[in-house]
């Protein structure tokens, strides 16, 4: 991924005058971007997410090149490369929405096998097994979506740079670990409550709503941690 970051910065400076000062600035940007990427990965970001946050913090180097070269020199020839990163983020955003829709649909439809097989000898075996398989699949999709959620990638360059610097703070890392523990405990309690309520009441057709409530609580927890920043 370091080579990919270097190639990205090289593309940004493509067409720029071959001045010594510009070369030094380019190498400095490359090193800073790689350092920011490494910090984000150590903070728990996926390589793809860390890449997009790191490059979004670079900003528009055409103004920098123009100022170094004396106003407009080099700026007229310089063209920023196609925003492939932005297109990739948009594609990831659509994929994230599709995964969320599929997981919610699986949660809602998980009770269908029990309903269809009610009154048969397969109600308590095959029906329940199929229901849990659908729930497990939906939960797995949500986990995958959480790992690839491009929400942070869509941040503006200044915000991304600020976030990258905050990631290095021990206090920020402590809050992130605490938030993850709270979320993990929340979903464990949710699953236990779902099973207890479902088996006790037998109303499988409605108890799945507890997962929607848990998702809402999770978003509230994240919002509270964001406000503390």
Let me know: does 61 contact 37? Beta carbons within 8 Å. Answer: no
Name the domain boundary from 49, 65, 84: 84
Q: How confident is the model over 107-127, as pLDDT tens digits?
A: 778 778 878 888 888 777 887
C-alpha distances in angstroms, 190 versus 147, 197, 219? 20, 10, 15
Q: Looking at the structure, tell me whether residues 187 and 112 fall in a common domain.
A: yes
173-189 pLDDT tens trace: 777 888 888 988 999 99
> How do the pLDDT tens digits run along the chain, 229 residues long?
788 888 888 887 777 777 778 788 888 888 888 988 888 888 878 877 788 888 877 766 776 676 666 544 444 444 444 455 556 666 776 777 788 778 778 877 877 887 888 888 877 788 778 888 887 888 788 777 776 654 444 444 444 445 544 444 566 677 788 888 898 899 999 999 999 998 888 887 778 778 877 877 787 777 677 656 5
Are 162 and 223 in the same domain?
Answer: yes
Give the residue among 138, 151, 153, 160 at the shortest CA–CA distance from 212: 138
Count of beta carbons in the 10 Å neighbourhood of residue 42: 12
Domain-ending residue, one of 52, 84, 116: 84
Whether residue 111 sits in one domain with residue 202: yes
Among 44, 59, 84, which residue terminates a domain? 84
Q: Are residues 37 and 136 in the same domain?
A: no
Domain match, 123 and 216 both: yes
Continuous H helices in 43-169: 47-56, 61-68, 84-109, 112-116, 128-148, 157-167
Q: In this structure, are 116 and 223 located in the same domain?
A: yes
Distance of CA 78 to the CA centre of its chain: 32
Token code pair at residue 192: 């236990």
Structural domain harbouring 30: 2-84
118 backbone dihedrals φ, ψ, rounded to 5°:
-65, 140
Same domain, 79 and 119: no
Do 105 and 197 belong together in one domain? yes
Lookup: tokens for 210: 């507890």
Place of tokens 């507890």: 210
Are 119 and 223 found together in one domain?
yes
Judgement on whether residues 135 and 63 belong to the same structural domain of the protein = no
Structural domain count of the chain:
2
3-state secondary structure of 203: coil
Structure pTM? Answer: 0.38
Residues 61 and 114 placed together within one structural domain of the fold? no
């Amino acid at each position: 991924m370091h080579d990919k970051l270097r190639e990205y910065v090289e593309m940004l400076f493509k067409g720029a005058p071959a001045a010594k000062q510009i070369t030094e600035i380019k190498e400095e940007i490359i090193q800073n971007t790689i350092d920011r990427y490494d910090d984000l990965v150590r903070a728990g970001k996926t390589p793809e997410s860390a890449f997009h946050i790191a490059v979004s913090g670079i900003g528009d180097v055409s103004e920098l090149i123009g100022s170094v070269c004396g106003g407009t020199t080099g700026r007229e020839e310089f063209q920023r490369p196609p925003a492939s990163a932005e297109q990739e983020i948009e594609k990831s955003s659509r994929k994230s929405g599709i995964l969320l829709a599929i997981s919610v649909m699986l949660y809602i439809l998980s009770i269908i096998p029990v309903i269809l097989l009610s009154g048969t000898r397969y109600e308590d075996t095959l029906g329940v097994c199929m229901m849990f398989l659908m729930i497990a699949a939906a939960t797995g999709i949500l986990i995958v979506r959480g790992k690839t959620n491009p929400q942070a990638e869509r941040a503006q360059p200044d915000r991304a740079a600020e976030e990258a610097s905050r990631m290095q703070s021990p206090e920020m890392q402590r809050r992130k670990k605490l938030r993850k523990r709270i979320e993990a405990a929340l979903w464990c309690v949710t699953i236990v409550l779902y099973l207890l309520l479902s088996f006790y009441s037998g109303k499988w057709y409605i108890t799945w709503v507890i997962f929607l409530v848990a998702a809402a609580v999770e978003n509230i927890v994240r919002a509270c941690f964001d406000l503390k920043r």
